[in-house]
Structure 1
Amino acid sequence: MFRRDREPSRRPVEDVDLDSLLALVAETRGYAFEFARDGSYVLLSDSAAADGDGAELVVRLTGLRREAGRRAREDWPMLVSEHLAHAVATAGERLDVCDLEQAGPLLRTRVEAVDEVADLTRVVGRHLNADLVELLTVGSRAVRPEEAGCWPVPTAQALDLAVANVRREERLGVEGIELSGTPVTRLTGMSPSSATHLRWLGDYLPVPSDGVLVVLPDPYTLLLHPVDGIGVVRAIERLRVHAVRTGGLSSQVYWWHEGRLTLIKADIVLQSGQTRLVVAPPPEFARVLARLAV
């Protein structure tokens, strides 16, 4: 390790610039620092450490460097500051999320509304559609991009590992209920990963070739209705009204078909003192409705 390079640096200029920023932020926070010669980590120590009484903290930098490479330079100060702050805040944790061997068995998924995620660039996940995102989690929190950047696998593979963990660890409860006379199936789990189970929905109920309607009142629950007859129009209304009343994860109705979750745009409007549902289905679902109506 070294405090300052004693030889002209052969490392990429981006790494040198990032190190300078890391050093500045560390000093601002009151830490002394030493970088590993290969730049893979920085050792932080507080003022008491010099007397043998203070704490030292190893902060991994591999994932941070990868994330910085994907971001504009004007984002670097905030990225570095957040990375060091997070490392300090989690210093007492036994789990090192940067170590996939440790973190892998604990990886899970959680679905959130896109509008509820403060900054999508600071989490790891993938969109289920324009409204919903499936986040990669460890324990109760979302994985940060610079943590996933430490792993020897791409994030898509890490998400697949999390999905496999969800399937192995939990089976949802299945219950038939009615919404104003319309039968629906309710799937309920103990973890906020219920929407992940859409991938193997056939394990829980018969899935028609035209798929199922889905609402997600909360991360633990799915409400489903088969797309198997023109009665699906009434089901859209019942599910949409229920989703609005619960005010949970999403107030929308979706169509799960061939591995995709598609929004069925349905607006509740007040007209002449009466409440009406105005449905504007996507073209593919509209063709299904037209066929079912014959």
Structure 2
Amino acid sequence: MLTAAQAARLRALAAPYARDGHDHPLTNLAHACRDVPEDRWPELVAAHFARLRQASTGGESAEELLRDVHARLLPVESLTPELAGAMRYARVVADGLVFVHALDGPTSVRILTDDDVERAGLEELGQAAYANLMRVPVEHEEVSIEGRARLHSLYGDSPFVASKALFLSAAARQITGEPLPDTGALVVVPNRHLLAYHPITDGSVVDAVNGLASYALGAHEDGPGALSPRVYWWHRGGLTSLTVIDPDTRTFSLQPPPHLLGLMKGLVRLDRAGRLAAASTAEASQVTELTHTTAESIARLAGSPAGLGEAFASAVVLAHAHCAADPGAAHIDTWDAWATAVQLGSALFTGGQPQECHLGEDLVRQLPATSAEPPADARAWLDALYLAIVCRQKDRIGRLCQVPLATLSRDDTVDEYVVHWIDTLQSYFCERPMDDVVEKLLATMNTSMPEALTHAPKDFVNRVDYQPVALFHRLIARDHDAFAKTLTEALADHGAYWGTSTAPRARVALGPLAMASIAYDHGFPVATDLPYAPAYLLNRERIEVIPPA
């Protein structure tokens, strides 16, 4: 900004124009003067106040108001007590931001008063303000920032560009053809000519928070038309500030609200495990590289047993990846990968004795003895159980179901329904009364409703994570026809969720495959030529001996 001496000179130049009894903020004028030589300041000041004199002073007809009104965001501090008294319709929409109606004139913009609103009608004015705002032209650019995060930047000459944040989902659809996800977006409106947002779809949200914070601070200082240096969460039509400003020290910190923080934790873990279609970039065809990674992870366990979780995650990805070229799991290398994943999952949660892990082509790694120190990773436990079910490992299923629910429920990255689902499965395999199983299944269903979700995207829950629950419901009801129909739907939803993705987890619907394996073993007429459900695992023809845990 200006130096103290420059600011004093600007105030002196503006003083003669301030004798009209009005308080004229000089912030935008200061931004304009900053970029030109000081000998041109007098003409800039004169032109600035000439535009103010030409500005509308009111009295437009209702038709004129409706034709040119726009919804607009202003910084809260711009709403002086005098203005607030004449604009009772205005409302604070988030920390630091106030919503008003503004009239776009040929040379200036006038903020509407209560009298203007009454003349045109509040509802009619609101509809016109929205429609006119959506017609404001903008430039669109995608910007990469630190990490994997990408921002959508909207900018333009109009002073209303940033105000599109009021209707961000509609603006995003208009620009990109896609609405915002149910999880919303992070957004900044540093000045009136710019907004930038990041749709919240995966673990890159963590990078986006920090990147947007820096982006907003820089653009807010550069101006003109400074609006807010804060980072906001746009969610369900509202804006919530993540930025906390200490009024004494003027320092900034980021404090996401609890709901967003839980969502961020959930997305990061889902992302790292390759469970999200939006984030997955790994190629299922990279079996050689994945085999090497898994083998190296196992080899390091003798000296670093804490890496068992990472080794298991790698083995799960490898098992899925093999099914790209071998969708039926007919080959021995595919079986070896699945068996290794079973061994590592069991060892991670229940411990085990030393044993060999085969990864094909005479590649063998020694899994050392491990103690039972289960991590608080609920979905990894589900992976381990699903794998044990598919590979018909009755002893390992029993051992996994002895893992304390209290340990798994400490996982703060999952929604409540995940813990209820684990409780349901443990009760079922431990042969507790069926009434108890049904009660826990109902708790799973009730807590998986869209309005109850706080950690996982609705699309992921509906199309992927909930499907085993729906199948289990049909399984314990012994309804063969309903199970077959639900299985077909579950596999179709799996395919729709992943689309054309080549990510490893796109290749197999692990949860539905596990439920289908139980049904097959219980005499249900389960088809074995289904997509995303390897036939030779489902019908047991590929199942071989796995060293005991």
Larger CA Rg, structure 1 vs 2? 2
Does the aligned pair in 1 maintain the 2:186–2:234 contact within 8 Å?
yes
Q: Would the alpha carbon gap of residues 94 and 224 (structure 1) be closer, same or farther in structure 2, given more than 3 Å must change?
A: closer
Q: Distance in 1 between matches of 2:208 and 2:259?
A: 18
Secondary structure of the residue aligned to 2:119 is coil
- Equivalent position of 2:209 in the other structure: 236
Report the aligned-residue RMSD: 3.0
- Equivalent position of 1:177 in the other structure: 143
Q: Distance in 2 between matches of 1:111 and 1:92?
A: 19
Does the aligned pair in 1 maintain the 2:136–2:161 contact within 8 Å?
no
Does the aligned pair in 2 maintain the 1:95–1:102 contact within 8 Å?
no
> Number of residues paired by the alignment?
195
Q: Distance in 2 between matches of 1:257 and 1:147?
A: 31
Q: Distance in 2 between matches of 1:142 and 1:92?
A: 11
Alpha-carbon distance, 1:104 to partner: 1.4
Q: Distance in 2 between matches of 1:241 and 1:188?
A: 17
TM normalised by structure 2 equals: 0.33
Alpha-carbon distance, 1:278 to partner: 4.6
Alpha-carbon distance, 1:253 to partner: 0.3
Alpha-carbon distance, 1:107 to partner: 0.9
Deviation readout 1:139-167 (Å, 9 max, x if unpaired): 2110122232333x2x2441232111222
Q: Distance in 2 between matches of 1:160 and 1:290?
A: 38
- Equivalent position of 2:187 in the other structure: 214
More displaced stretch, 259-268 vs 102-111: 259-268
Q: Would the alpha carbon gap of residues 227 and 93 (structure 1) be closer, same or farther in structure 2, given more than 3 Å must change?
A: closer
Q: Would the alpha carbon gap of residues 149 and 231 (structure 1) be closer, same or farther in structure 2, given more than 3 Å must change?
A: same
- Equivalent position of 1:130 in the other structure: 95
Q: List gaps (5 residues or longer) in structure 1.
A: 1-88, 269-275
Structural mapping, 1:136-285, within 5 Å: 136-138=101-103, 139=105, 140-151=109-120, 153=121, 155-167=122-134, 169-180=135-146, 182-198=149-165, 199=167, 200=170, 201-205=172-176, 206=178, 207-246=180-219, 247=221, 248-265=226-243, 278-285=253-260
- Equivalent position of 1:113 in the other structure: 75
Identity percentage of aligned residues? 24
- Equivalent position of 2:262 in the other structure: 287
Does the aligned pair in 1 maintain the 2:181–2:200 contact within 8 Å?
yes
Q: List gaps (5 residues or longer) in structure 2.
A: 1-51, 270-549
Alpha-carbon distance, 1:267 to partner: 6.3
Secondary structure of the residue aligned to 2:209 is helix
TM normalised by structure 1 equals: 0.58
Q: Which protein has the bigger strand share?
A: 1
Q: Which protein has the bigger helix share?
A: 2
Secondary structure of the residue aligned to 1:261 is strand
Deviation readout 1:79-131 (Å, 9 max, x if unpaired): xxxxxxxxxx999969732x202321011122111122223233353332232
Q: Distance in 2 between matches of 1:190 and 1:92?
A: 19
Does the aligned pair in 2 maintain the 1:163–1:196 contact within 8 Å?
no
